[in-house]
Structure 1
Amino acid sequence: MRTLRSPASKLSLFLLLSINLFLIILVILTVFGIASAALIRFGWVPANFYERPVVGPLFFACVVSLFIGFSTLIMIDSVLIKPMHRMIDAVNELAKGNFGTRIRLAKGSHSLEINEFARSYNKAAEELGSVELLRKDFINNFSHEFKTPIISIKGFAELLQDPELPQAERDEYLEIMISESDRLARLAANILELSKIDSQKIGSGMTVFSVSEQVRRAILMAESKGAAKSLAFELEIDEVAVLGNPDLLKHAWVNILDNAIKFSPDGGTLAISVRRTEQSAQIRIRDEGPGMDETTLRHVFDQFYQGDTSHASEGNGLGMALVKKVLTLHGARIDIDSAPGEGTTVTVTLAEAEATLGKNEAL
């Protein structure tokens, strides 16, 4: 962390305060002199009052005044001016992108407002530092995910230039190139979707619709992928409506189902339920896959994070990040229950339409 030092220009405010204090004393003395002259002129004070020996008391008064003045200036410099310059330096460092800068003030030696500003600044700098770290991680991960399929496509394209390459290998390489191209397309689509959700406002596109019907359609869309792995679907769907953006929520169900199918073993069972609970809709999807350990569970919603570090399974680590953003936008809760070798259960809880409408009317 950078230790802040006040610049040489810090004297400007100190001198300004000194001049102001001098002018205030000068005005007070002038007013006092005029008042004294008026009192003598009107006879309210004896004319020989000031002929008495008062040099000692006046000198003492001047010394005390100077001491009080300088003490006041030193206190103002310590309590106000120096902290202000530390804050100015800190803000300048923040503007340069140095998010590790902090304002350090001794407790109790400054006003409440300055201490509060320092706390607010430190909190803002910490948040900005976290955002910057996430941004760098995002760029690094995106670059890796984007570069890998491009290198793969380039490598197989160079192999295809060989005129003596057997047709079987040629077809295999073309299939891999098509697969990698699809991977790039999915990555670009997910990035665009995340960007769209980040700028989305919950008030736009809101309508009451049947979440039960939407989940059924998501299952139909995923049926071909399930059939390829001979999965059995166990369905338990109540009729329940919610207030939300159907286009956004559709992405949530599709991504959760895709994950469940991707990690399910061949011939496994996928249990899907939609139930009405107390003023809410509960959507639950359970698979019989390998499950997740505690580390994977902690990072499951991080962008580009993949529990399968070998990247043997299809995906780019954006699906669950997209799901989390969509559900957060709707004020919904998502819980994941999983353990190695025990499969994974994803539970989403959405407010029922009647409960949501009733709450909005009450507001």
Structure 2
Amino acid sequence: MNKMTTKLNNRISLPIYFSIAVFFIFLITVSITGLLFYLAHFFGLLNEDIAHDGTILPVIILIACIIIGTTISAVTSRRMVKTIRMFIEATDRLAGGDFSIRLELKGPPEFKILSENFNRMAEELGGIEILRTDFVNNFSHEFKTPIVSIKGFAEVLKHDDLSKEERDEYLDIVIEESARLASLASNVLELSKIEAQTILTNKGRFNVGEQIRQCVLLLAAKMEKRNLSLNVNVQDLEISGNKELLNQVWLNLLDNAIKFTSDGGEIEIDMKKNVNTVMIQIRDSGSGIHPDALPRIFDKFYQQDTSHSTAGNGLGLAIVNQIIHLHDGTIVCNSTASQGTKFTISIPIGL
């Protein structure tokens, strides 16, 4: 019986629900008014003059209907008002920063949809708040660390008793930290510029296979230094896109592969042409990504290494992700800890 009632409630929309409610209020009002007049007549409370009067009786019936109808409406509307108050209270708590609030409204399907949408909104806002907090914390750390380092070594360099080797070593550290700070500022500005774009600009046709080979040549010295083996399987293929932005994608992904692959490891680049897209895979035999970290790798400033000892500022993959989406493409990461990582990028070839 309860299942049948629930099923029926789910099928009754809000307009029908109100129509039924108004009908029953009207029916109950008329029934109670009729019953009261019948009892009044039965017990002789209505005299013949009132009963035959064409003015007084309709006025009495009208007043009785108004009083009874208003009373019944007030009682029955309490449920509706209670639901609205629940919603108002929930929105007040949400506006106050309580993103854990959830609604479980019963009744017409519209209320259930409202409840589901509200809960989804609260969940999304809660996630955004977590991301905002992480962003502020990570940005503060990434920005503060090189400044503190530069300040500390600059103070040490003021000492006259330093040897030339020590002075050169400290100056190298200052130069390195300055470059890190400049890189951070450049990446933040670049990400902000890319995020502000809604339409891809400066599009043109170019050979993506040749572009990837050029990126490999730019990073060849790094790979040789780490004694990494490279297997490249790309062919000449023209696509339509922003050449400069896509160049950043390949450089970022290859640089990450080099960074997180142990000496003597392997990096593989593979390209496949489908009907309307080109699929490019960049795989390494490095340390891999922990399953808990995998969903967050494209977040701004997120780094799996919480100690921040690894070079980088956690913006590279965020930039890559944004550029790929600007090209109406997709990027997927598959990784197993200690077994390597594979990025699969799919981009429309275009006309």
When residues 335 and 89 of structure 1 are mapped into structure 2, their CA distance, relative to the original with a 3 A threshold, is closer
The Cα shift of 1:94 comes to 4.3
Partner amino acid, structure 1, of 2:176: S
Kept after mapping to 2: 8 A contact 1:238/1:276: no
Kept after mapping to 2: 8 A contact 1:238/1:274: yes
Is residue 152 from structure 1 mapped to residue 158 from structure 2 by the alignment?
A: no
Kept after mapping to 1: 8 A contact 2:51/2:57: no
When residues 279 and 102 of structure 1 are mapped into structure 2, their CA distance, relative to the original with a 3 A threshold, is same
Partner residue, 2:206 = 209
- Give 5+ residue unaligned stretches, structure 1: 1-47, 358-363
Is residue 258 from structure 1 mapped to residue 259 from structure 2 by the alignment?
A: no
Kept after mapping to 2: 8 A contact 1:300/1:306: yes
SS in 1 for 2:300: coil
Name the % identity: 41
Partner residue, 2:268 = 271
Kept after mapping to 1: 8 A contact 2:330/2:345: yes
Kept after mapping to 1: 8 A contact 2:215/2:250: yes
Mapping for residues 273-288 of structure 1, pairs under 5 Å:
273-288=270-285
Structure 1 window deviating more from structure 2 (302-311 vs 282-291): it is 302-311
| CA offset digits 1:140-184 (Å, max 9, x no partner) | 111111111111111111211211112211111111111111111
Q: Provide TM-score, normalisation by structure 2.
A: 0.75
What is the CA RMSD across the aligned residues, in angstroms? Answer: 3.1
Partner amino acid, structure 2, of 1:183: R
The Cα shift of 1:270 comes to 2.6
Structure 1 window deviating more from structure 2 (316-325 vs 114-123): it is 114-123
Kept after mapping to 1: 8 A contact 2:261/2:286: yes
Kept after mapping to 1: 8 A contact 2:50/2:56: no
Whole-Å Cα distance in 2 between the matches of residues 162 and 235 of structure 1?
51
SS in 1 for 2:219: helix
Mapping for residues 1-363 of structure 1, pairs under 5 Å:
51=52, 62-79=63-80, 81-105=81-105, 107-108=106-107, 112-353=109-350, 357=351
SS in 2 for 1:134: helix
Kept after mapping to 1: 8 A contact 2:200/2:327: no
Kept after mapping to 1: 8 A contact 2:227/2:263: yes
Partner amino acid, structure 2, of 1:70: T
Partner residue, 2:17 = none
The Cα shift of 1:61 comes to 6.9
Kept after mapping to 2: 8 A contact 1:99/1:129: yes
- Give 5+ residue unaligned stretches, structure 2: 1-48
Q: Provide TM-score, normalisation by structure 1.
A: 0.73
SS in 1 for 2:201: coil
Whole-Å Cα distance in 1 between the matches of residues 115 and 192 of structure 2?
33
The Cα shift of 1:132 comes to 1.9
The Cα shift of 1:136 comes to 1.2
